Amino acid sequence: MSIVSNFHKCIMFIIFVGALLLISCTSKTETNFNSHSIGPYQMKIGFGSCLKQNKAMPIFEAIKVENFDVFLMIGDNVYGDSQSEDLRELRSAYKKQKENLIKMNLNFPFEAIWDDHDYGLNDGGKNYPFKEQAKELFLDFWDIPLDDVRRSRRGLYYDVLKSIDDIDVHIIFLDTRTFRDELTPTDDRGAPGKERYIPNLDRSVTMLGQDQWNWLRRKMSQPYDYKIIVTSIQFLPVGHGWESWNNMPHERDRLINMIDNSVLDNIVVLSGDRHRGGLYQLKTSTGKIITEITSSSLNAAFTNAEESGPLRIGGTFVGENYGALYIHGDENAITLALKDMKGEIVRSLLVD
């Protein structure tokens, strides 16, 4: 091979690298060689659920290199079910988890909401007698400031606004524990579609409680570029008898109608809890699209059979996983991705 030929190849390589650098200056691009590619984006939000404090957490090695703008812990952030007022198990769980997070030296900010195992009671609702003590432990663990509204009102629901490059992303965190009425036990335990609970058709029972519903209505009316709803339990899925919004169908319909009357054409819902990940979509009566991605679990996976999923896109993924949400401001679109322990995409969907 001649020196001239090598020289030409070097020049072409320099031009190619320069072009890549030019692209990277205007927006971020992520390519995953597992047959998925993520186009230019302005913001990347990570999320996950179900993190047992006494198990190894190798998945955070992949999460750490993601450079997330924020990571959302969407429930079961510790496992500390407690039956006594001193909440000994929950306190111990938080102590261990704090040591874990410090040791991992994570390089991104967190936002968090709870589910049942950091609430203090498996599948627990409003009748859990120690919920106020559990709330204080949650707020202290996540270093919530003393003047934060969650310190002075009932429940842990709240919202945050993330802005970058003139793009506003409104993230709404729902508390599905503090105000939730009791669920209706199944009449055929373990049967497909009736595994633990059956839908309660009583319209007087509530998932969120009236104060939280009123707050949510106000938040949904606020105009932002993107709106994301975080609910620790699944919202859209039907067909299974585990915890979900479908345990109270009229409450599920109420939120669907609220979304249907909102100013945005596409709403994204993030959920966890289920020890499986998946993608779900529903078209409302006026043609709006609600898309949900469930990410679970970060380190508590176990083998379990596929379940009925009329609104699901493809199959579920039961290995350890976390989620990534990419905001494509230039295209007014969002990519949702479910990633495995190595950071490889196993499920993805473009919402535009």
In this structure, is residue 19 part of a structural domain? no
Encode 157-191: b = buried (16+ Cβ within 10 Å), e = exposed: bbbeebeeeebebbbbbbbbbbbbbebbeeeeeee
Instruction: Report the C-alpha gap between 111 and 97 in whole angstroms.
Output: 16
Q: What's the token pair of residue 279?
A: 């993608």
165-194 average pLDDT score: 97
Global pTM value: 0.91
From the CB of residue 137, how many other CB atoms can be counted at a distance below 10 Å?
21
Q: Report the distance separating Cα 200 and Cα 252, nearest Å.
A: 11
At residue 266, the pLDDT reads 78
The total number of structural domains in the chain stands at 1
303, pLDDT greater than 50 = yes
- Residue 11 in any domain: the answer is no
Domain with 45 in it: 32-351
Q: How far is CA 109 from the centre of its chain?
A: 15
Answer whether residue 116 shows pLDDT above 60: yes
Query: What is the signed CA dihedral for 57, 75, 307, 313, rounded to 10 degrees?
Result: -90
pLDDT, one tens digit per residue, over 326-343 is 999 999 999 999 999 999
Distance from C-alpha of 326 to C-alpha of 33, rounded to nearest angstrom: 17
Which pLDDT score, from 0 to 100, does residue 91 have? 98
Residue in the block written with tokens 């410090």:
102
Predicted confidence band of residue 37 (pLDDT cuts 50, 70, 90): confident
pLDDT (tens digit, 9 = 90+) per residue, 234-289?
Answer: 999 999 999 999 999 999 999 999 999 988 877 999 999 999 999 999 999 999 99
Predicted confidence (pLDDT) at residue 299 exceeds the cutoff of 60: yes
CATH code of 68's domain: 3.60.21.70
Residue with structure tokens 């699944």? Answer: 234
Please tell me the predicted confidence (pLDDT) of residue 119. 98
**Residue 2 in this model has a pLDDT that exceeds 80:** no
- pLDDT computed for residue 50 by the predictor: 98
Residue pair 338/323 in contact by the 8 Å Cβ criterion? yes
**Is the pLDDT reported for residue 35 higher than 50?**
no
Q: Is 7 contained in some domain?
A: no
> Do the Cβ atoms of 74 and 270 come closer than 8 Å?
yes
State the pLDDT at residue 5: 39
Consecutive H or E run containing 125: none
Q: Is residue 24's pLDDT more than 70? A: no
Asked if residue 56 belongs to a domain, the reply is yes
* Beta-strand relationship, 322-328 and 43-48: antiparallel
Looking at the DSSP assignment, which residues form a beta bridge with residue 292?
269, 280
Q: Mean of the pLDDT values across residues 154-177?
A: 97
Residue 114 located in a structural domain: yes
Per the structure block, which two tokens stand in for 240?
Answer: 């299974």
Query: What does the CA dihedral 67, 296, 351, 247 come to, rounded to 10 degrees?
Result: -150
Angle at 248 between CA 76 and CA 242, to 5 degrees: 45
